[in-house]
A and B are shown apart, each in its own frame.
Chain A
Amino acid sequence: MHLPDGFLSPQISLPAWAVAVPFWAWGARRHFGREAAESLPVMGSLTALAFVIQTILIPVPGGTSTHLTGVTLLAILYGPLAAMVCEGLVLLIQALFFGAGGVTVLGVNALAMGLLGPLAGWLAWKLLRGLSEKAALFAAGWLSMQVSTLAVVGALALQHWLDPLYFPVAPAVTLVAMGVPSLTVAGVVEGLYAVFALSLVRKANFRGVEA
């Protein structure tokens, strides 16, 4: 789902970096200082798990594929800023060691999949957990995926609007191509993953996990 290098010009990628860096700095200061000794290993494992599940491509009709993000759980357990830092790290490792995504588009991808999506998921969890915990988790995962997808579509639409020769696909086409798999497949699987993964974390009874 995340954008590769070359899809966005510096007109978009540089401002996105400028917005993302303060969030990373804030998140790192808040969640990864000396006092994070207990939570850092769990966050590291969940980040690694997010990395692994992001490499598993889910085929969707039309010959393309989609994937989960797996960071909604990090937002639920540690807050949206921790998810932003961890997703930034996943994207950095993917770009530097595996040639997926890219460094120029890292700011946009991190804001979409690391901040906006998990923030929406975290809000859904906070609002709905009183009604039913499992339903709230599923809704958080599903909503997180939709918001992330919309943010990526928005960035591509903005690029098309700025320079159609740079990115020639019309926003309506991008929305259909990315929105349909997200609504029907990826969102549902992300919701199920959130339910499954939180029950797993609770069963394991790790130090540094509060939810």
Chain B
Amino acid sequence: MASRPDPRAGRRLLAAWLVAIFALSALHDPRWLAGAGLAAVLLFHRGLWRTLGRTLRSVVPVTVGLSAASMGWNRLVTGDWPPLQPFQALALRAAVIGFLTFAVLDRLALLPALAPFPALTRLLVVTLAQIHALRLLSTESLQGLRSRLPRRPGPLDLLRGAGGITAMLFTLATRNARDISDAMRSRGF
């Protein structure tokens, strides 16, 4: 039988992670940031490639894109390229914080760790459930629209379709939310 995650250990890990990410956000020397990144990789080597992949997919493109856009705007407005090193430090800082966040969340059962806050837990569960429900319903509606059209739907087709389905999606999501909320309240949340 699998052992249940210890909520106190989870809360300790959450607290340590919070301290670590704020400390990391204070660094802007690339050498310190690289050292911190290496320490994080050594500490959280289990599932390393998965966590690195997640960081590379969801954190690095955003930071690099924003940095590139900022540098471009700076060049356009002032006529000069800004120094590269602060942007390198920025990208590295965001990547190390992202890696640490994903590595910790992989090892943490978030809802048991949040158990002392029942109202927050209830709202979190209701919202997460609705996010999944809305995404599922919108994907199904998009596939339905695709199947009805002989060509790939364009932006105007999507807009026409969205008006009709959004009301239905929202009504369904709210009824679903009410069921979940009532069920959680009946269990003491």
Residues of A within 8 A of B (CB): 4-10, 13-14, 28, 32-33, 37, 40-45, 47-49, 51-52, 62-64, 85, 89-90, 93, 95-100, 102-104, 163-170, 172-174, 176-177, 196, 200-201, 203-204, 206
| A203 touching B167 in the complex, CB below 8 Å, given contacts A44-B181, A49-B173 | yes
Chain A residue contacts of B57, Cβ below 8 A: 99
Chain A residue contacts of B58, Cβ below 8 A: 98-100
Chain A residue contacts of B55, Cβ below 8 A: 99
| A41 touching B126 in the complex, CB below 8 Å, given contacts A96-B105, A169-B73 | yes
| A42 touching B98 in the complex, CB below 8 Å, given contacts A52-B134, A104-B22, A167-B86 | no
The answer to whether A96 touches B101, judged by C-beta atoms less than 8 angstroms apart, is: yes
In angstroms, Cα B105 to Cα A41, docked, is 27
Count A-B contacts at CB 8 Å: 180
In angstroms, Cα B74 to Cα A164, docked, is 13
Residue in B65, B86, B105, B177 whose beta carbon sits within 8 Å of that of A64 in the complex? B65
Chain A residue contacts of B147, Cβ below 8 A: none
Given A99-B59, A168-B82, 5 other A-B residues pairs in contact with their CB atoms under 8 A = A14-B22, A37-B181, A52-B135, A165-B28, A176-B73
Interface range for B: 35 or more
Chain B residue at minimal CB-CB distance from A14: B22
Chain B residue contacts of A168, Cβ below 8 A: 74, 82-83, 86-87
The answer to whether B101 touches A41, judged by C-beta atoms less than 8 angstroms apart, is: no
Sample 24 A-B pairs with CB under 8 A, ordered by A number: A5-B101, A6-B25, A7-B90, A10-B22, A14-B22, A32-B120, A32-B122, A40-B122, A40-B177, A45-B174, A52-B134, A62-B73, A63-B72, A90-B127, A95-B101, A98-B58, A99-B57, A99-B59, A99-B98, A99-B101, A100-B62, A104-B21, A166-B89, A177-B70
- The 7 A-B residue pairs whose C-beta atoms are closest, nearest first, are A48-B130, A99-B58, A44-B126, A6-B94, A41-B177, A6-B93, A41-B178
The answer to whether B123 touches A204, judged by C-beta atoms less than 8 angstroms apart, is: no
In angstroms, Cα B173 to Cα A33, docked, is 21
Chain B residue contacts of A42, Cβ below 8 A: 174, 177
| A4 touching B62 in the complex, CB below 8 Å, given contacts A93-B127, A99-B98, A204-B171 | yes
